[in-house]
């Protein structure tokens, strides 16, 4: 894990990992974590000891729901949108239990939990730490891994998926840094989608 996780976050990752074996949440979480670290470099005033543990634990609650429902719980045409709030509630419960068990030093558990609670359903951020966690979570969707998974979940071609990200997700990003990162990834996504369409790759 050297280079992926900060050493102090490894125990938190190990606690979260058993809960992340659905919906590619383990990969999503690690990618979001690295995106969070990139955002933190641009915002050194933000407390990484709140943002990074929240990223590692924010989606652990999806594990308690039937996997066949999860792909239909998100997106513009979600069939089970109520699961978005339900998974936040479960993530709060699991994250608090794990953080209390770890007794990790220098982590304000209440602040971490406050970010996890509402990370998908609350559109506005209540702190700079909340804003970066929300943006790191959403930025994953613009990565090649994220686009590939969304194409499968939504049963849409890459071109349509990337266009949805530009029109539906990009405006929801909260920081200018995240918007710039997303636009850079969109350039890559649109180019690959165009090649797939025109070259029939």
55 inside domain: yes
91 inside domain: yes
**The two three-digit tokens of residue 59, written as one number:** 């989606």
33 inside domain: yes
Q: Which domain holds residue 163?
A: 8-199
Confidence of residue 199 (pLDDT cuts 50, 70, 90): low
Confidence (pLDDT) at 198 = 76
134 inside domain: yes
3 inside domain: no
What is the C-alpha to C-alpha distance for residues 140 and 175, in angstroms, rounded to an integer? 15
Nearest CA-CA partner of 5 in 29, 34, 26: 34
pLDDT digits (tens, 9 = 90+) for 156-187: 999 999 999 999 999 999 999 999 999 999 99
Higher-confidence residue of 50 and 70: namely: 50
Phi and psi, residue 140, nearest 5°: -55, -35
Confidence of residue 3 (pLDDT cuts 50, 70, 90): confident
pLDDT digits (tens, 9 = 90+) for 32-57: 999 999 999 999 999 999 999 999 99
Supply the mean pLDDT for the chain: 92
**Cβ contact 62:74 at 8 Å:** no
Q: Is 192 exposed, middle or buried (0-12, 13-18, 19+ CB in 10 A)?
A: middle
2 inside domain: no
pLDDT digits (tens, 9 = 90+) for 94-151: 999 999 999 987 899 999 999 999 999 999 999 999 999 999 999 999 999 999 999 9
What is the C-alpha to C-alpha distance for residues 194 and 192, in angstroms, rounded to an integer? 5
The tally of domains found in the chain comes to: 1
Confidence (pLDDT) at 153 = 87
Confidence (pLDDT) at 200 = 59
Confidence check: pLDDT of 194 > 60: yes
102 inside domain: yes
Which residues make Cβ contacts (< 8 Å) with residue 111, sequence separation at least 6?
Answer: 50, 127, 129
Residue 176 belongs to domain with CATH number: 1.10.3210
34 inside domain: yes
């Amino acid at each position: 894990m050297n280079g992926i996780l900060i050493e102090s976050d490894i125990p938190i990752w190990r606690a979260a990992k058993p809960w992340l074996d659905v919906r590619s949440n383990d990969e999503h979480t690690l990618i979001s974590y690295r995106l969070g670290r990139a955002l933190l470099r641009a915002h050194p005033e933000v407390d990484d000891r709140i943002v990074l543990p929240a990223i590692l634990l924010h989606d652990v609650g999806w594990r308690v729901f039937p996997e066949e429902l999860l792909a239909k719980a998100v997106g513009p045409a979600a069939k089970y949108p109520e699961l978005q709030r339900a998974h936040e509630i479960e993530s709060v419960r699991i994250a608090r239990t794990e953080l209390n068990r770890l007794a990790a030093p220098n982590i304000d558990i209440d602040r971490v939990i406050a970010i996890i609670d509402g990370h998908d359903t609350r559109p506005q951020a209540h702190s700079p730490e909340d804003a970066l966690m929300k943006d790191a979570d959403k930025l994953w969707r613009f990565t090649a891994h994220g686009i590939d998974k969304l194409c499968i979940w939504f049963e849409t071609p890459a071109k349509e998926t990337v266009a949805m990200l530009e029109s539906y997700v990009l405006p929801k990003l909260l920081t200018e840094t995240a918007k710039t990162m997303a636009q850079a990834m969109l350039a890559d996504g649109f180019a690959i989608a165009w090649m797939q369409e025109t070259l029939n790759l």
